[in-house]
């Protein structure tokens, strides 16, 4: 199972490390290895959220996500995206931007750094909306009940997530953006952050809204699904889950790709703290992206999210933390280790909470079975 799921990741790792040695020697090998670990640590929560969405899609669209989606993630976001940033921010043509990335690495790094506030605002707002919509939804299973119960009540207020996100964006533009490290004046910095943040918000509302619309169609099948469950119980056959297909799956796929792009922002920007060589950066982040995809598949096939019910909660709290960190980095520098560890700690905590919950349920069931046997043996 492990080899089947992670086989391509192992192969890409081997090829990537060999290419790194040929391109940059043993130093290049070390840089690529570090970048791979960085990408995996920063994107583990991405894999958990992806798995929660991917399991609702049919087999065809799951394969699309794992083929075309990988190409978009590895080559699009980890190789093309940094070049596009430079091309847009410096008003260069694509060929000029590529030439700059290969021949003038210091200038290339500076241009990407200058574009960071816009990137952070866009990605931060997109991820913040994901987090807010999650915590304001009333869920049957609650991890931090003392916090999630009152937030679920507040979530009944229409458009609350959007209002909070806009308030956060406005506060960010008025504080962090006025002191950001762009070469433009304070007014331009604030305008850049505002426009980029609104762009992230609109992107979430359009893509997420379409995905949610089609996903809600599943609710219309609840009655049929319930009938299928009853039929399966009578006949002893296993009921196949209802999954998304067609337009519904397409928009969910699109949502997944935008989500992955938002997660990759911090990895791409953080990679410049290690190297400004775009080739080594693409190799390292590409290897890490492959493992994130493989981990997503593993979580889906093993049904891990169903067994460890708080994992999805932990991943969304990690998303919220990452959104805040991205917005803070508009002015302040935060080490990638801290960013990665926040996600690891939250997901690890939610995993341990899930384990404890499963043990408590198993113990309760064992006690109930024991009591039933005692009653039967005593003739009650």
Residue 259, helix vs strand vs coil: helix
Does residue 378 carry a pLDDT above 50? no
Q: Which residues contact 281 (CB under 8 A, 6 or more apart)?
A: 35, 78, 82, 268, 271, 272, 275
Does residue 62 carry a pLDDT above 80? no
pLDDT of residue 228: 62
Helix axes 116-135, 145-154, angle to 10 degrees: 90
Question: If we measure between CA atoms, which residue out of 55, 89, 70 comes closest to residue 299?
Answer: 55
286/282 Cα distance (integer angstroms): 6
- Cα first-last separation, the chain: 48
129/281 Cα distance (integer angstroms): 29
pLDDT of residue 353: 92
Please compute the mean of the pLDDT values over residues 354-365 and round it to a whole number.
87
pLDDT in tens, 243-282: 555 666 777 777 777 777 766 666 666 666 567 677 888 8
pLDDT of residue 266: 60
Beta-bridge mates of residue 223: none
Alpha-carbon torsion, ordered 206, 209, 213, 219, to 10 deg: 160
295/310 Cα distance (integer angstroms): 17
Q: What whole-number percentage of the chain has pLDDT above 70?
A: 74
Please compute the mean of the pLDDT values over residues 59-79 and round it to a whole number.
75
Q: In this predicted structure, which of 150-154, 229-233, 248-252, 317-321 has the lowest mean pLDDT?
A: 229-233
pLDDT of residue 18: 92
pLDDT of residue 347: 83
Residue spans of the domains in the chain: they are: 2-363
Please compute the mean of the pLDDT values over residues 346-350 and round it to a whole number.
87
Does residue 373 carry a pLDDT above 70? no
315/46 Cα distance (integer angstroms): 7
pLDDT of residue 163: 93
pLDDT in tens, 160-208: 999 999 999 999 888 865 554 444 445 567 888 898 899 889 988 887 7
Please compute the mean of the pLDDT values over residues 1-11 and round it to a whole number.
77
Residue 188, helix vs strand vs coil: helix
What phi and psi values does residue 156 have, to the nearest 5 degrees? -70, -15
Residue 163 or 370, more confident = 163
pLDDT in tens, 124-133: 898 899 899 8
pLDDT of residue 240: 53
Is the separation of the CB atoms in 116 and 326 below 8 Å?
no
Degrees, nearest 5: CA angle 172-175-179: 115
pLDDT in tens, 136-151: 988 888 898 889 899 9
**Mean pLDDT over each residue of the chain, to the nearest integer:** 77
Q: In this predicted structure, which of 77-81, 111-115, 124-128, 285-289 has the lowest mean pLDDT?
A: 77-81
pLDDT of residue 248: 67
**Could you give the maximum distance between any two Cα atoms of the chain, in Å?**
87
């Amino acid at each position: 199972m492990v080899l089947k799921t992670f086989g391509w990741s192992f192969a890409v790792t081997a090829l990537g490390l060999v290419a790194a040695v040929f391109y940059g020697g043993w130093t290049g090998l070390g840089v690529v290895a570090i970048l791979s670990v960085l990408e995996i640590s920063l994107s583990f929560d991405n894999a958990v959220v992806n798995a929660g969405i991917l399991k609702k899609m049919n087999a065809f669209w799951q394969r699309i996500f794992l083929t075309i989606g990988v190409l978009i993630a590895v080559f699009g976001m980890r190789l093309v995206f940094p070049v596009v940033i430079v091309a847009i921010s410096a008003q260069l043509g694509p060929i000029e931007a590529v030439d700059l990335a290969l021949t003038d690495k210091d200038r290339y790094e500076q241009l990407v750094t200058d574009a960071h506030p816009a990137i952070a605002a866009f990605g931060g707002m997109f991820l913040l909306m994901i987090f807010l919509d999650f915590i304001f939804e009333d869920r049957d299973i609650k991890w931090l009940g003392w916090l999630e119960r009152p937030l679920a009540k507040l979530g009944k207020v229409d458009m609350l997530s959007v209002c909070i996100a806009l308030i956060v964006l406005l506060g960010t533009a008025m504080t962090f953006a006025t002191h950001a490290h762009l070469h433009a004046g304070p007014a331009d910095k604030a305008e850049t952050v505002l426009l980029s943040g609104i762009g992230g918000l609109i992107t979430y509302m359009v893509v997420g809204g379409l995905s949610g619309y089609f996903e809600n169609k599943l609710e219309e099948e609840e009655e049929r699904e319930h009938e299928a469950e009853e039929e399966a119980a009578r006949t002893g056959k296993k009921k196949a889950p209802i999954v998304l297909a067609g337009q519904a799956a397409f928009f969910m796929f699109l949502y997944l790709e935008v989500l992955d792009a938002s997660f990759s922002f911090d990895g791409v920007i953080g990679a410049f703290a290690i190297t400004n060589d775009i080739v080594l950066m693409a190799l390292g982040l590409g290897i890490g992206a492959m493992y994130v995809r493989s981990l997503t598949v593993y979580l889906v096939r093993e049904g891990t999210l169903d067994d460890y019910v708080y994992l999805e909660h932990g991943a969304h709290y990690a998303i919220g933390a990452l959104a805040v960190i991205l917005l803070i980095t508009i002015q302040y520098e935060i080490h990638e280790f801290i960013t990665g560890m926040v996600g690891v700690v939250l997901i690890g905590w939610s995993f341990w909470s899930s384990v404890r919950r499963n043990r408590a349920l198993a113990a309760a069931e064992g006690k109930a079975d024991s009591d039933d046997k005692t009653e039967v043996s005593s003739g009650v």
